[in-house]
Amino acid sequence: MEYIKVKDINTYNDINTLIKICNLYVKKNLTSKEFSLYKKELYEKYKEILDFDDGNFHRLKTCNDGFTDSVMKFKNVQGLYDAVSKLNNQQYLIYAKLNNQQYLIYEKLYDKSIERFESVNRGIDFIPARILCDGPGGTGKSFLIDVLAASITAIIREKMNTPESKNQPFVLKVCLTGVASVNIKGRAIQSLFNLPVSKSKFKMKLRPLNTREKYSIFV
C-alpha cells in the first residue's frame, strides 16, 4: 500500500513492481500459515509417540514422519522376499546373506520385535532386548540393520488391516550423530526426539596426526 501511495502507477515497470510486491505478500502469508499448520501437525505426531515406564518403552504409536521405507532398500516387498526364505508364515530366515554372528543377532531381535508387537496388542508386559553390535567398517553392521528393519516392517504390515497402517515404518532407526545415520537412512537422536542441543558444548577440535601416528595407521 505504501508503494501505491507514493507512486503513480503508470508504466509497465510500475505494474511489474506492484505484481512482485503482491506476490511476495501472498507468499509470506501462505508460508506463515503452512508453517504454523506443519508445527501443529508435527506436535500432534510427537506428543504421544513415546511413553516411558521405568526407562522402557510402554507404548509406541505408528507414525510415518518422513522415515525412509525400510522395505524400499530392497526395492519392494517382493525384492525383500527374494532375499529371504519364508518359514512358518511368520519368520524370515536370511540365506547366503548373513553370517552366523549376524544371524544370531537377527534372530534374537526379530523375535523380540514380534513379541513386542503382540504384547502391546494384548496389553501385557514386555521386557525389551538390548544388544551391542560392534565391529570395524565392512563387517556388515549396516546391512544387518537394513535386513532387520525391512523384515520386521514387512511382517507387521501383514498383520495390519488398513492401507494407512500398512504404510507405516514400524521401525525407528536412531543414531547418536547425523553422520552415523546416513548409511542406514535413519535419524539423529536429537532430531527424532527434539532434544535440545548446545553446539558449543560439543565442539571437538581435530589434532593433526604426526608422522609416527600416520605410519601406524597404514602398517
Cα 167 to Cα 156: distance, rounded to the nearest angstrom: 10
Predicted local distance difference test score (pLDDT) of residue 199 = 59
Predicted local distance difference test score (pLDDT) of residue 204 = 54
Q: Are 57 and 138 contained in the same domain?
A: yes
Q: Are 14 and 25 contained in the same domain?
A: yes
59 conformational bin, left if phi > 0, alpha if psi -120 to 50, beta if neither: beta
Predicted local distance difference test score (pLDDT) of residue 11 = 67
Q: Which residues of 31-67 are buried (b: 16+ CB within 10 A; e: fewer)?
A: eeeeeeeeeeeeeeeeeebeeeeeeeeeeeeebeeeb
Predicted local distance difference test score (pLDDT) of residue 16 = 73
Q: By percentage, how much of the chain surpasses pLDDT 90?
A: 0
Q: Are 204 and 135 contained in the same domain?
A: no
Q: Are 30 and 64 contained in the same domain?
A: no
197 vs 157, which has greater pLDDT? 157
Q: Are 128 and 33 contained in the same domain?
A: no
Using 50, 70 and 90 to split pLDDT, how confident is the model at 154? confident
pLDDT digits 0-9 by tens, 86-124: 433 434 444 446 778 888 888 899 899 889 888 988 888
Q: By percentage, how much of the chain surpasses pLDDT 70?
A: 49
> In this structure, which amino acid lies at residue 56?
N
Q: Work out how many domains the chain is built from and give that number.
A: 3
Q: Are 60 and 162 contained in the same domain?
A: yes
User: What DSSP string runs through 106-118?
Assistant: HHHHHHHHHHHHH
Using 50, 70 and 90 to split pLDDT, how confident is the model at 146? confident
Q: Are 162 and 57 contained in the same domain?
A: yes
Using 50, 70 and 90 to split pLDDT, how confident is the model at 61? very low
Contact predicate 118/110, CB 8 Å = no
**Residue 176: how many other CB atoms lie within 10 Å:** 10
Predicted local distance difference test score (pLDDT) of residue 155 = 83
Q: Are 23 and 109 contained in the same domain?
A: no
Range name among 62-66, 74-78, 198-202 with the lowest pLDDT average: 62-66
HEC readout, 16-59: HHHHHHHHHHHHHHHHHHHHHHHHHHHHHHHCCCEEEECCEEEE
Using 50, 70 and 90 to split pLDDT, how confident is the model at 35? low
> In this structure, which amino acid lies at residue 206?
L
Cell of 62: 505408528
Q: Are 62 and 157 contained in the same domain?
A: yes
C-alpha gyration radius of the chain: 25
Give pTM, 2 decimals: 0.52
Predicted local distance difference test score (pLDDT) of residue 52 = 42
32 lies in which domain range? Answer: 2-44
207 vs 138, which has greater pLDDT? 138
Q: Are 36 and 56 contained in the same domain?
A: no
Instruction: Supply the mean pLDDT for the chain.
Output: 68
Q: Are 9 and 75 contained in the same domain?
A: no
Q: Are 6 and 28 contained in the same domain?
A: yes
**Has residue 194 got a pLDDT over 60?**
yes
